[in-house]
Amino acid sequence: MAEDDATATASESEYSLKETPTWAVAIVCFILIFISILIERLLHLLAQYFSKKSSKGLIQALYKIKSELMLLGFISLLLTVCERPIEKICIPVTVAQTFLPCKDKNITHEEEEESCVEQDKVSLISSEGIQELHYFIFILACAHVIQCVLTFGLGMAKMKRWESWEAETRTLEYEFSNDPRRFRLIHQTSFGRRHLKCWSNHPYLRYLTRFLRQFYGSVSKVDYLTLRHGFITAHFSAGSNFDFQKYLRRALDKDFAVVVGISPWIWFFSVLFIFFNAYVFHSYFWLPFIPLLLLMLVGTKLQVIITNMCLDTNEKGPVIRGNMLVRPSDHFFWFGKPKWILYLIHFILFQNSFQLAFFSWTWFKFGLRSCFHRETEDIVIKMVMGLLVQFLCGYVTLPLYALVTQMGTSMGKAVFTEAVVEGLKKWRVMAKKNIATRNPYSARPSLDASLSIGSSPSFNTVDASYSLDYDRPSPQVDGVEDEVEVEESLRGRPKEQKKFGSFEGFELSR
């Protein structure tokens, strides 16, 4: 009798829109629309700010965030539309009691679909479970965006000190200390003393020491200056005034657009995470540690790459002339692909945000002392691991990644500033028009090859692309004349490249 009264009371408290005052519906709709327009307007103002700062990579990242939020909203909409069909899917009680997230959870039939109760079965997911899933999707979207922004904010703060190191390379003191007329032993250089130790020739000891180094002084001044010198010598003319620090920031902006997105394979691992959250797997003992272990593996590999470059130079000869010179090459990276490290960081960030979102959702919906984390150790492990991965990834691993991954065989498109890219695009369009005007029936030379960046380790090979003969004068490229680094890199000085600042002793073939 009491159950019938409770059911009647519940049914009376729930009424449809036809029994709801129109002013109440109007107020709720107004508030929702106002908040949505406000958020959309803020994102639009943020895009305008990035556009003024010429941060095309950040603009792409912002659009990626908006598309991911739209995807999560579409998933939430599908859950709302399919709520009743999902409830009508009936499964046996014995099947429903397998792989539960909480131990000794008894299933009751009080809120089950009537058609399932009549068959002595239960719904695949109840209406209450679908509503809780709505909350989880919302928290996941917020956690992923906030964590990505905080991570790259920490990385940019760490890279801020590199500006003073870059400015030092333009001083007379730096030129004097790296005089190319001086002969030195590699072990006497600061870079050699840092990386050529007694354990450097032993692979296991090398990995162990590099594992420890990532936690203190992960990017030193001598590492930055040496890798900068190797990058500029490999890809530019001798004596180039290229701003390496700004190039790293532009490259990191483009990588941010990749990390902030959620690819299909990331979604696949997220579904696996939900599945392994069952009590029988005891995931609270090992799952929170996976992002941390992967992050330490990535940091160790990046440190080992720097040491391997130093060992590679030492094998060519113990004596150097001028500054220490390292050889950029893809073979230092896993599978010869520097981008694999970016994909791992992408996976680490999303899985960490997924776990933090899951912890926040269970705390919000079921309380701190729910069956998801009954013991104090569970709460401490999840919170400490999440915050530790957040800090280490942003302040330690990300700056190290930004520096080391530029030491591949080819450079990224971020070597051009936005003004230069726009100028080259205008030049390409006008050059096509000039060729078409000159002889529309003749074979046209390919202009795409002349603008290819990743296919060549040096800009000295690009000179031939500017030797085309036109009947009319070549158009002026807007913004190119103000960029010293690109102007000097396109001059091409084959004679100077053979001097003591070149890779004459290295094999540059891929």
**φ and ψ of 319, to 5 deg:** -110, 135
The answer to whether 123 and 89 are in contact (CB under 8 A) is yes
Q: Which is more confidently placed, 11 or 366?
A: 366
Is 42 exposed, middle or buried, given 0-12, 13-18 or 19+ CB atoms closer than 10 A? exposed
Angle of CA points 97, 75, 100, to nearest 5°: 15
pLDDT at 231 over 50: yes
Asked whether residue 492 is assigned to any structural domain, the reply reads no
Neighbours of 444 (CB within 10 A): 12
382 domain-assigned: yes
- Distance between CA atoms of 222 and 213, rounded to whole angstroms? 15
Cβ count near 156 (within 10 Å): 17
Q: Are 270 and 68 in contact (CB under 8 A)?
A: no
Tokens of residue 94, six digits: 């014995």
In sequence order, what are the residues at sequence separation of 6 or more whose Cβ sits closer than 8 angstroms to the Cβ of residue 482? 419
Confidence grade of residue 483 (pLDDT, cut at 50, 70, 90): very low
DSSP 8-class letter at 178? T
DSSP 208: H
Tokens of 384: 């400490």
**pLDDT, position 295:** 92
Between 281 and 373, the higher pLDDT residue: 281
8 A C-beta contact, residue 83 and residue 129: no
Residue 108 reports pLDDT greater than 70: no
Average pLDDT over residues 191-195: 82
Bigger pLDDT: 86 or 240?
86
CB contact at 8 A, 409 and 248: no
Per-residue pLDDT at 339 exceeds 80: yes
Whether pLDDT at 351 is above 80: yes
Return d(Cα 208, Cα 223) in angstroms, integer.
19
pLDDT for the residue 51: 75
Give tens-digit pLDDT for 140-165.
Answer: 888 888 888 888 888 888 888 888 88
* 8 Å CB contact between 307 and 375: no
Q: Which of 33-37, 108-112, 313-317, 433-437 has the lowest mean pLDDT?
A: 108-112
Structural element, H or E, at residue 233: helix 221-235
Is residue 477, in this structure, part of any structural domain at all?
no
Band (293; pLDDT cuts 50, 70, 90): very high
What pLDDT is recorded for position 381? 86
14 confidence band (pLDDT: 50, 70, 90): low
Return d(Cα 420, Cα 481) in angstroms, integer. Answer: 9
Average pLDDT over residues 167-176: 82
pLDDT digits (tens, 9 = 90+) for 234-276: 888 766 778 888 888 888 888 887 777 777 888 888 888 888 8
pLDDT at 3 over 50: no
Token pair belonging to 148: 């990505």
Question: Length of the chain, please?
Answer: 510
Alpha helices (H) in 21-178, listed in sequence order: 22-52, 56-81, 83-87, 93-96, 114-118, 127-159, 162-168, 172-177
- 422 contacts 483 by C-beta, under 8 angstroms: no
Backbone angles phi, psi at 470, to 5 degrees: -120, 155
- Residues 175-183: contacts with CB under 8 Å, at least 24 apart: 178/229, 178/322, 178/323, 179/322, 180/321, 180/322, 180/323, 180/499, 180/500, 180/501, 181/321, 181/322, 182/321, 182/322, 183/319, 183/320, 183/321
Q: Under a CB-based contact definition with an 8 Å cutoff, are residues 398 and 344 in contact?
A: no
CA 94, CA 107: separation in Å to the nearest integer?
10
Cβ-contact 471, 457 below 8 angstroms: no
pLDDT class of 294 with cuts at 50, 70, 90: very high
pLDDT bucket at 15, cuts 50 / 70 / 90: low
Parent domain of 275: 147-415
Query: pLDDT category, 454, cuts 50, 70, 90?
Result: very low
Give 293-311 as a DSSP string: HHHHHHHHHHHHHHHHHHH
Query: Among 325, 296, 323, 300, which Cα is nearest to 310's?
Result: 325
Residue type, 420: V
Nearest in space to 378 (alpha carbons), one of 292, 287, 270, 294: 287
H or E stretch including 339? helix 339-366
What's the whole-number average pLDDT of the chain? 75
Residue 184 pairs with which residues in a beta bridge?
A: 320
Tell how strand 183-185 and strand 319-321 pair up: antiparallel
Is 433 a member of any domain? no
Nearest alpha-carbon partner for 361 in 372, 374, 350: 372
Number of domains the chain is built from: 1
pLDDT given for residue 110 in this prediction:
54
**Facing residues of 90 across strands?**
123
Q: What percent of the chain has pLDDT over 90?
A: 2
CA dist 88 and 26 (Å) reads 32
Q: Which two tokens stand for residue 455?
A: 């296919």
Q: Can you give the pLDDT at residue 451?
A: 45
Characterize 166-202 residue by residue with b for buried, 16 or more Cβ atoms within 10 angstroms of its Cβ, and e for exposed.
beebeeeeeeeebeeeeeeebeebebbebbbeeebee
* Tokens 């990386």, located at residue: 195
Lowest mean pLDDT among 38-47, 164-173, 313-322: 313-322
According to the model, what pLDDT value does residue 464 have? 35
